[in-house]
Structure 1
Amino acid sequence: MPATPSFDTHVLLDTHATHPSAVTAVLSGPQARILQVALEAANWVAVAENRLVLARIDREEPYWARVAAQRLEADGITVEITPRLQEAIDHAAEMRPGPAPLTETERDALAARSVFDVTATKSGPSRPEQETVPVYLADAGDHDALLDTFLDAHGEFEKWRTWSDDTTHAIHESQTLRIERVHEAPAHETAWTVAAYETPVSDRVWVLTATGATPAPVLQRLLTHLADGDGWDALIGATPKMKQIAAATQPLADAGWTYVLNGQGFRCTSPDGNAGVQFDPLTAQRPQKPATWTIWAGTGPDRPTWAITASSHTPEPLLAGLSESLAHDTGTRRPQPDHEHKARLAASALAVTAGRPASRSR
């Protein structure tokens, strides 16, 4: 009997911070991507890189988390279950021994899509439920889970909820950086607002907003820069100079994005035409105007699928970080099998691949 192969991968299972019945999985290790595809095929949903959520209508997430853990461990994968999730698993076991027995049809379907069989994964790739695309074409993902993870990892931000519980504020310990998250914002309306102040009682220096459909990896890049203190307190100046503007968009130029200058400023567009960055020098004269910079995906900044706007004082390193994400990051979305979509996706993939450097250090 052949020995069970092992994977150099670690899985941390926990209950969701704001949705107690849901379960989160955080993956680490060189083969985390393979495992993510496997869990997605078992109805886990990717909300960020190497982070998934299991949510079910029947509220049986702890039971199925235990099943997943047993199968992963059987394949040599290290699984860690937090005490609070273990308590939920134990409680579910006391309340009922598990869901009703599977029907023969359900057993056949489960066997057919089993992704935990290592030999099956080696025989050929299975069709994933989601496809990898340039980050600007990705689905929004779980913004609430993204914020929860950020706050759990960065104690320098304090969490506040409004009385109606529909908005969360994350305030830096310096009281000069504030993040507002509107939880039920529609896809095309503002769901995130980041504002910086010179002092806790001064007027706002710069502001950035993002709509509800903004892909989670882009927001993750933004939050990373904020947490690192990577220039969010360094102003770009009352009126950005061309040198500063070029530095903020340099990753896009390196990736082959197209620049167009006109009387209203400049626009930088992705090779496939599905995303862009626009700078408006007229609004740059008014520091409180939020849309000096506009980052969008879709047909244009006037009818975007999602959009980020930033005022003229927004720091250059932060803008450059967002440009870096647009140029090189990827995300996932549900497949769209129509022929026109396939052509667009192929062009986008080639554009990102061509623009990605062989190695990057930071």
Structure 2
Amino acid sequence: MGQLLDTWCSREEVREVSNEAQKLYDDIRRGRLLIHAHAKDSHTTVGVGTYLDGGKSVYLHGEDHLRQIADFFDSPAHALVSFEQLHGDTMRPGSAPMTDTEREAAEARASLGIPAAQPEPHTAEPEIVPAHAADPGDHNAILEGFLDAHGDWERWRTWSDGTTHAIHESQTLRIERVHEAHPHETAWTVAAFETPVSERLWHLTATGSTSAPVLQTLLDLLADGEGWDSPIGSPAAEKHIADATKPLTESGWTHTIDDGRWLRWTNPSHDAGVRFDNFAAHKLDSLLTTWTIWAGPSIYRPTWTLRAPHSAPAAVIADLVAELAHSTGPRHQPRSGAPRQPPQPTTRLPAVP
């Protein structure tokens, strides 16, 4: 295989492949990339793992200087299911045994007195939990990954280094990220406008400790940009509410009505829920919170919260609710709160009104 690589690739391409393989090896060795399982595929090794600083799951193919990322997945659960379908016969948990080359490198480091790399803090193998209970991850890294993957969005920085704006090329979709917001305060505001200079059509906010899978789903919805023309407050509201919350009912969440005003759905473990405010939904001239999506001890003491008014698109609410009902994510330990995250350096550009 090494000869084939040398034959097919230029010297620069060989160097690029090797550099990427080295980075993967370092990420695994230092605990940034957690390997869930490995398997034999013909004469090489394949594996599946998740990056702990953003929740991205990857399919790895090859060994040593030929190791590379062959595919991406939106969740560890999806990655493991796909991996088992491909390699169920030879699939084994955890990382593959060291290759001869890796063993020789480890021995060389030991002989030179170089201490073995220590895992970074909180790199113990995480528990895979429902999406609402997953770690928040690094929200700044999630935003950077979103902008890197979608060239039709551009980063803008205001006069304050504590806030970053991301704006779609149409100028009608905008994200505001407050870097040092308290974990229980608004750190994300997503807004849509009919034209670049019109009033805001709808918005949605998320707190600084929102779980990474839920936040990633919200950003993915912005990237897709479909189904945003049917707000919950439209004449078909009852149908939209039923459609949006159907995954919760099917997953055994409890549905209650409080004082004829609030519709509530609570999960079986009582640590996540969705609340619909019927009064706010009919105040079409206000921005009162109609939808509250939360996780934590209770809606009054949440770990994280998403809020949206009646004008929020039905499709956005439905997909976020489906994420709560069906998806999973990694968690290292029970959370008492998320640490504040420092702003990432970016080029300062003029503020957008």
Same fold (TM over 0.5): yes
Letter in 1 for 2:67: I
Q: Paired residue for 1:203, among 199, 202, 206?
A: 199
1:36 Cα offset (Å): 2.5
- The one of 296, 299, 303 aligned to 1:298: 296
Q: Which residue of 1 aligns with 2:52?
A: 45
- Matching residue's letter, 1:329: S
Structure 2 Cα separation of the partners of residues 259 and 128 of structure 1: 37
Correspondence for 2:212: 216
The superposition leaves residues 119-175 of structure 1 with CA deviations (integer Å, 9 ceiling, x where unpaired) of xxxxxxxx9531111111111001111111111111111210112221111111222
**Secondary structure, counterpart of 1:319 in structure 2:** helix
Equivalent runs, 1:63-142 vs 2, <5 Å? 73-74=63-64, 77-78=67-68, 102=113, 106-107=115-116, 128-142=124-138
TM-score normalised by the chain length of structure 1: 0.63
RMSD between aligned residues? 3.8
Which of 264, 270, 275 is 1:273 aligned to? 270
- Per-residue deviation, 1:201: 1.8
1:325 aligns with 2:323: yes
Q: Name the structure 2 match of 1:194.
A: 190
What SS does the corresponding residue of 2:270 show, helix, strand or coil? coil
| 1:142 to 1:13, Cα distance in 2 relative to 1, 3 A | farther
- TM alignment of 1:252-291, pairs within 5 A: 252-262=248-258, 263-287=260-284, 288-291=286-289
Distance 1:142 1:303 in 2: 22
Could you tell me which amino acid in structure 2 is paired with residue 264 of structure 1? R
Preserved CA contact (<8 Å) 1:130 1:332? yes
CA positional deviation for 1:279: 0.3
Please give the alpha-carbon distance, in whole angstroms, between the structure 2 residues aligned to 1:290 and 1:178. Answer: 20
- In structure 2, stretches of 5+ residues that fail to align are 1-17, 24-29, 40-44, 71-108, 336-353
Query: For the residues of structure 2 that align with 1:100 and 1:178, how far apart are their CA atoms?
Result: 54
What is the rounded CA distance, in whole Å, between the counterparts of 2:111 and 2:158 in structure 1? 41
Residue 312 of structure 2, aligned match among 311, 314, 328: 314
Distance 2:150 2:206 in 1: 21
Tell me, in whole angstroms, the C-alpha distance in 2 between the residues paired with 1:299 and 1:177: 33
CA contact (8 A) 1:277 1:295 kept: yes
- Partners of 2:236 and 2:52 in 1: how far apart? 41
Give the corresponding residue for 1:146.
142
Identity of aligned residues (%): 48
Q: SS at the partner of 1:48?
A: coil
1:36 aligns with 2:55: no
Judge conservation of contact 1:11–1:25 (CA < 8 Å) in 2: no
Q: Secondary structure at the match of 1:249?
A: helix
Q: Displacement of 1:75 after TM fit? A: 8.6
Which of the pair has the greater relative contact order for Cα pairs under 8 Å at 6+ separation?
2
1:155 aligned residue (151, 155, 166): 151
1:218-237 pair list within 5 angstroms: 218-237=214-233
1:78 CA displacement? 2.6
Aligned residues: 261
Q: Deviations over 1:48-76 (max 9, x none)?
A: 2327xxxxxxxxxxxxxxxxx9xx84396
SS in 1 for 2:54: strand
Shift of 1:176: 1.4
Separation in 1, partners of 2:313, 2:19: 36
